[in-house]
Amino acid sequence: MEGDAWVPIDPAKTYLVATNNFVRRGGDGYKLFASAQNAYDFGPSLEQVVADYMAANRPYTPKLEGRITELAK
Q: What are the domain boundaries of the chain?
A: 1-64
- pTM for the full model? 0.44
- Nearest-10 Cα torsion for 4, 7, 9, 13: -60
Cα–Cα distance measured from residue 15 to residue 71, given in angstroms and rounded to the nearest whole number: 43
14: nearest Cα among 38, 41, 31: 38
pLDDT at 71: 75
pLDDT at 24: 82
Q: What is the pLDDT along the chain (73 residues), one digit of tens a residue?
A: 788 999 998 989 888 887 887 888 888 888 888 888 777 777 788 788 889 999 999 998 887 777 777 776 6
Cα–Cα distance measured from residue 45 to residue 50, given in angstroms and rounded to the nearest whole number: 9
